[in-house]
Amino acid sequence: MTGLLLSTLNPQLSTAAPRASMSPLEHAPLLARDWLVSIFPAPLQWLVHHLITIVAVLAVFGLFFAFLTIVERKLLGRIQNRLGPNRTGPFGFLQPFADAIKALTKEDVVPAAADKLLHLLAPVVVCTFALMTFAVLPFGRELIPVELDAAVLYFFAAGAASELAIFMAGWSSRNKYSLLAAMRALAQLISYELPLLLAVVPVIMLSGTLSTQSIVLAQGGWTFGVLPHWNILTPWGACAFLIFLIAALAETNRSPFDLPEAESELIAGHLTEYSGFKYALFFMAEYFGMTALCGLGVTLFLGGWQAPFVFLEFIPSYVWFGVKLFALILVLIWIRGTLLRLRIDQLTRLSWKLLVPLALINLANAAFWSLTADLPPLFQIARWVVSIALVVIPFVLIGRRLSTGLAPRTYRYA
Amino acid sequence: MLGSGILKGLAVTAKNLAGSYTTPERMVTVEYPEKRLPLPEAYRNFPFLVTENAEDPMGTLRCVACQICEKECPPQCIYIEKSKDKKPDATGKLQLYPAVFDIDISVCMSCQICVEVCPFDAIKMDQVFEIAAPDRFNDLLLHREQLAKPNTYYHQIHPTEAAEVDARLAAERQAAAEKAKAAAAAAAAKAAAAKAAKPADAPSAEAPKPPPAA
């Protein structure tokens, strides 16, 4: 049914059938896995099959996390005209391992008044939920840990649950700063879950499926061989992607929305009473969550593992996924190096007064786009104009309304 | 328009990011152990003992063990033992010298009072700051061998101040020499007068010359 829907929506859609131009490396990971599975006796094979997938995801994204921390610190340093860490190994690239050893050998302090069990469980739970989201991301043409029909739904269910763990951490620490941070995290979650989901709905509407792999396949194909059919290259897709990006920043508690761990106000937020490896687990979960959400953004809007040009298809699909994921994360680091932290009222105002209305209008825009797909070529230009206007005009109007009386600020006594 | 400020900010940070690779002048970091900034001349911490001659540091200490600094030191970090014998100092006068001169660097607060009270310009402020040591009891108690540094080093770290001190010391030495010469001349005149008063006493013996002034 999905295929039928896709072909009616997008006549130039490329099928998932393997092509001659594809590299033999494309199948290498799967062949390696099948070979490993075949070593084990038949009754164990299903277990080994899944375990290998889990281990592969853990190893790849564990390493990715490790090097992401050093890349982030280096880039933030460069943005501030500093050098960043460069003492451990060549260019400081062994820094994450030094950090890991330090975190492991540190004393684990649990407050006397804390709820010991919840205090221990919170970092485990937050890491678990962050890792669970990786299960439905299509890393390549054939690389997807679990093929679910309701993959997007599953992703958001698992992703939102990590806020529960943050609240667990805040509550069990019996520390007022931790608790305040946890309350903020919940307020933030409620504010930003809505625009995040509303930004994803147009994609689901137009591809007619909740399966991430089918969504990626729906973005296949190129016009003239150079213009990919990615969702971000449509007016509604660009708008939805920006809303998704902003909401994803807030969901993962990253700057400029890192209110739950605003160190100038809340010491370290919900991490105040955590030390040693538990702290490292929270840190890891934050980066896993960010990576997973960026992976979803790549899947939904940036064509997933699809190559940007036809002639670049010989590069394996999982490389393309990795490149896009890394590029998106670099954008997040860039934003972190640029913007200031918002106040809690500014945070909720941005969501409820700007992102939610824009996302709702964008939903109508996507519906319009979907209904006018079969118009003759002459009308296609009008379709683009109307669609772009549906994005730009509400943004300008709402933006003007929101910013009247706020800027520029004058300092009378400074 | 809403968001234009964000775009401007992103442009600034992107410029910084690219610029940090192309223009090294932007960087605010000096990679300390390999590269260092020159210390300002007025920078000072921890005292050292000035010696005249780098070849024989213990023999040419300016310090005469008067113990003023030891008494004035607010945190009481100086310990001095006077010598039993005497040695000629820079002006040739016989002086005591410190048999033991210890400064507990872990107690010293670099207040410079010892330098200000010293009448002999024998103790001056150093510019060391890398004195971390594994043993806080033995390694941070500096003896006179570690504290003694030649006058040339003093000229290196505080050129203006050292020049002033040297000029003052030279003037003092000259004054001392002139005084000694005057004293010698006076003694000679006195001897001559005595000889003139009693010419028959010892005609063959000339007036004994006073020892040449140092």
Sequential DSSP letters for A317-328: HHHHHHHHHHHH
Which residues does residue B102 pair with via DSSP β-bridges, in sequence order? B79
Count other Cβ atoms within 10 Å, centred on residue A109. 12
pLDDT at A8: 38
pLDDT at A46: 83
Radius of gyration, CA atoms only, chain B:
29
d(CA A157, CA B120): 81
Cβ pair A79:B17 closer than 8 A: yes
Report how far residue A185's alpha carbon sits from residue A262's, in angstroms, rounded to the nearest whole number: 11
Question: So what's the pLDDT on residue B210?
Answer: 53
Residue type, B202: A
Q: b/e map of B167-197 (b: 16 or more CB within 10 Å)?
A: eebeeeeeebeeebeeeeeeeeeeeeeeeee
Substitution target from B16, B22, B30 for chain A, most A beta carbons within 10 A:
B16
pLDDT value at residue A4: 38
Question: Looking at the complex, does the CB of residue A82 fall below 8 Å from at least one CB of chain B?
Answer: yes
CA dist., res. A119 & res. A140, Å (int): 37
How far, in Å, CA of A381 to CA of A284, rounded?
Answer: 47
Put simply, the answer to whether A81 touches B27 (Cβ < 8 Å) is: yes
> In what helix (H) or strand (E) does residue A47 lie, and over which residues does it extend?
helix A45-79
**CA Rg value for chain A:** 23
Give chain B's domains with CATH numbers: 47-158 (3.30.70.3270)
What pLDDT, in 10s, does the model give residues B20-31?
888 888 888 888
Encoding tokens for residue A210?
């909740």
Give the sheet arrangement for strand B123-125, strand by strand.
B123-125, B47-51, B148-150
Q: Do A339 and B31 touch (CB under 8 A)?
A: no
Q: What is the dihedral of CA A154, A156, A157, A159, to 10 degrees?
A: 120
Tokens coding B14: 């992107």
pLDDT band for B58, please (50, 70, 90 cuts).
confident
CB A290 within 8 A of CB A133: no
Distance CA A296, CA A137 (A): 7
Contacts of A262 by beta carbon, 8 Å cutoff, 6+ apart:
A181, A269, A341
Q: Nearest C-alpha of chain A: how many angstroms from B70?
A: 44
Confidence of residue B53 (pLDDT cuts 50, 70, 90): confident
What is the per-residue pLDDT for A362? 92
- CA atoms of B168 and B38, how far apart (whole Å): 28
Nearest CA in chain B to A395: B2
**B207: pLDDT strictly greater than 70:** no
> Which of B3, B10, B26 is facing A334, going by the closest CB pair?
B10
- pLDDT digits 0-9 by tens, B139-194: 899 998 889 999 889 998 999 988 999 898 888 888 888 888 898 899 988 888 88
Per-residue DSSP letters for A54-111?
HHHHHHHHHHHHHHHHHHHHHHHHHHTT-----SSSGGGTTHHHHHHHHHHHS-----
In this complex, is the C-beta atom of A81 within 8 Å of any C-beta atom belonging to chain B?
yes
Note the pLDDT of residue B75.
93
**How far is the CA of A180 from the CAs of A32, A170, A265, in angstroms?**
48, 8, 10
Contacts of B28 in chain A (CB under 8 A): 81-82
How many Cα atoms sit within 13 Å of B143 on the Cβ side? Answer: 8
Calculate the alpha carbon distances from A10 to A373, A381, B214 in Å: 8, 17, 110
- In angstroms, the first-to-last Cα distance of chain B is 88
- Distance CA(A229)–CA(A248), nearest Å, equals 23
Domain boundaries, chain A: 26-105, 106-400
Q: How many other CB atoms are there within 10 angstroms of residue B49's CB atom?
A: 24
Whether A396 sits inside 8 A of B1 (CB atoms) is yes
The overall average pLDDT reported for chain B is 85
Closest listed residue to residue B154, CA positions, set B184, B115, B189: B115
Cβ proximity of B10 and A408 under 8 Å: no
Sites in chain A below the pLDDT cut of 50: 1-18, 20
Look at B16 and A354 and tell me if their CB atoms are within 8 Å.
Answer: no
Residue A84 burial (CB < 10 Å; 0-12/13-18/19+)?
buried
Strands B47-51 and B148-150: parallel
For every residue of chain B, which 3-state class applies, written as one string? CCCHHHHHHHHHHHHHHHHHHHCHHHCCCCCCCCCCCCCCCCCCECEEEEECCCCCCCCCECCCCCCHHHHHCCCCCEEEEECCCCEECCCCCEECCEEEEEEECCCCCCCCHHHHHCCCCCEEECECCCCCCCCCCCCCEECHHHHEEEHHHHHHHCHHHHHHHHHHHHHHHHHHHHHHHHHHHHHHHHHHHHHHHCCCCCCCCCCCCCCCCC
Backbone dihedral angles phi then psi of residue B48, each to the nearest 5 degrees: -140, 165
Indicate the pLDDT class of residue B214, thresholds 50, 70 and 90.
very low
- Encoded tokens for A47: 């277990």
Q: What pLDDT does residue A2 have?
A: 39
